[in-house]
Amino acid sequence: MKATRLLFSGVTILATALAACAGPATTAAPEAPTDAPAATTAPTPVPPTEAAAPTEAPTEAAVAPSAGLTCATPIKIGLIGDYTGPLAVYGAMQVRSFMLGMEYLAGAPGSAGEVFTVDMKENTFTIDGCEITVVVADDQGNPETTATVARELIESQGVDLLVGSVSSPTTATLQGLAQENEKVLIVNPAAANDITGVNFNEYTFRTSRNNYQDFINLCSYLTTKYTKFVQIAPDNSFGQGGAASGRDACTKFGGEFVVDDIFAPIETTDFTPYMDQILDSGAEAWIVTWAGGGFVPMFQAAREQGVFDEMVLAASLANNAAIPVYGPAVGQNSGILYHYMLPTNEINDWLVEQDIARYGTPPDLFDADGMNAAIMVIEGLKKTGGVATADVLIPALEGLSFEGPKGTIAIRPEDHVAIQDMYIVKILNVDDKDFKFFELVETTRPEPPCLLPEGLKDRCGALPYGSLSGTP
């Protein structure tokens, strides 16, 4: 039989799930969140306030330093994430890095002290004389809980804007509530295209990348090695968006999908029939887009049915604790959205130093997203003179460029996508105690197509609409 080979291309992997991949699962996969609600009705088209964002990062000289922050009254930010549910490992990255981002800007820890835990609930910072309180709520990865805690933050706590959440279904719920209550929402680390696509409303921004950015980064490399693909994804907005992005990007770079995309319910535990379809496809590589505990039974079925022996697995590199599962790929190249060793700038250096000192670990996959969200909030408020109302803050955020752990983040005014660096790396090892696994091969800066609903198409301007080719 062929030696097991791995090449990585379009997946987010839950560390706790992959830890069990070496053998049969000892516990059931975590219950998946309920499906996202239907997309909210598209608002009346509102033209973006600025011209198209550049496809390349502005030079350092082009990014003017921001003035100090002033505010007439204290500001409250509602931070929502999955801190005890199926994606809690990602929520931990989001909350600690958001608090560290606020501290970086304040120049001192908040009222909670140097180490923040979710049970503390609140953390107050003073930035240039402006008092800002971050109120934290756990949505447990459940959209119904998201709705409950978001309403509590808005109606009882009186927050001025929202940040979150971890999963794409919970974020869809949060988008509708932000629009209903006219609150700006900054999404991280959820990745679904729909967030700034069919579910777009003018209140929604993001610092997280979307599915397309993952695949533009990866397919440009993947297609230099293989040309025939098949892919499997969960049957939800994250999976469908990922599959559509993977098909479009890999096809544009010369790949071919030999069968229709395979979708399985997110709660699937028996992947036998899906592995049969993959084996029968005739593909050279199978692409996986997934999140959560489904990896345990999926990979078990793939091993038992010989999928790994017949074709290459294509899946992006994941969080630090999950990397040991990629042992067979040492020496190969892959893609990743962030790793603490890759960016070279003072902000990332500070984040690395503080994460290790405070939390005993270097930054992980989504730490940059959380810190970027904090920086984005404050940079926007500086532009508005501390005014957090949506009618003033939205035009300040559209077209905003700021510096964060990944370098320059540029917010596209057309659809509020965050243009940012992504990375191709060589896997050097999978067992370094300090998670020093990679060597940088290339930094890319993918710019995805505009995916707004038809009623808002005019906002897209000169951007490719619906796909990389511009043909929906």
Q: Report whether pLDDT(176) > 50.
A: yes
Q: What is the mean pLDDT of residues 403-426?
A: 97
- Asked if 183 and 108 count as a contact pair (C-beta separation under 8 A), the reply is no
Cβ atoms of 95 and 79 closer than 8 Å:
yes
> 16-63: per-residue pLDDT in tens?
333 333 333 222 333 333 333 333 333 344 455 443 444 444 333 333
Q: Write down the pLDDT at residue 371.
A: 98
Beta strands in 306-412 (DSSP E): 312-314, 333-336, 401-404, 407-411
pLDDT tens profile 197-242: 999 999 999 999 999 999 999 999 889 989 999 999 999 888 888 8
- Written as six digits, the tokens of 109 are 């820890």
Q: Is pLDDT larger for residue 165 or for residue 48?
A: 165
Count the residues in the chain.
472
Q: Is the pLDDT of residue 180 over 90?
A: yes
65 has a pLDDT exceeding 50: no
Between 342 and 238, the higher pLDDT residue: 342
Mean pLDDT of 238-260: 93
Q: How far apart are CA 3 and CA 177, in angstroms?
A: 50
Average pLDDT rounded to a whole number, residues 87-115? 97
Predicted pLDDT of residue 265 = 94
Backbone angles phi, psi at 147, to 5 degrees: -60, -40
The fraction of the chain above a pLDDT of 70, given in percent, is: 85
Contacts with 432 (C-beta within 8 Å, 6 or more apart), sequence order: none
Q: Residue 292: its pLDDT value, please?
A: 65
Question: What does each C-alpha distance from 276 to 247, 301, 303, 315, 453 come to in angstroms?
Answer: 21, 10, 12, 19, 36
Mean pLDDT over all residues of the chain? Answer: 87
CA angle, 322 as apex, 321 and 325 as ends, to 5°? Answer: 130
For 360-413, write each residue's pLDDT tens digit: 999 999 999 999 999 999 999 999 999 999 999 999 999 999 999 999 999 999
Contact in structure between 438 and 342 (CB atoms under 8 Å): yes
DSSP H or E run through 228: strand 228-234
pTM given for the model: 0.85
Cβ pair 174, 80 in contact under 8 A: yes
How far is residue 101's CA from residue 105's CA, in Å, rounded to a whole number? 6
Question: At 332, which amino acid appears?
Answer: Q
Q: What is the pLDDT of residue 33?
A: 34
Mean pLDDT of 460-467: 96
Query: From the CB of residue 16, how many other CB atoms can be counted at a distance below 10 Å?
Result: 20
Query: Is the pLDDT assigned to residue 83 strictly greater than 90?
Result: yes
pLDDT score of 6: 52
Q: Choose between 19 and 115: higher pLDDT.
A: 115
Q: Tell me what the mean pLDDT of segment 118-138 comes to.
A: 97
Q: Which residue has the higher pLDDT, 315 or 254?
A: 254
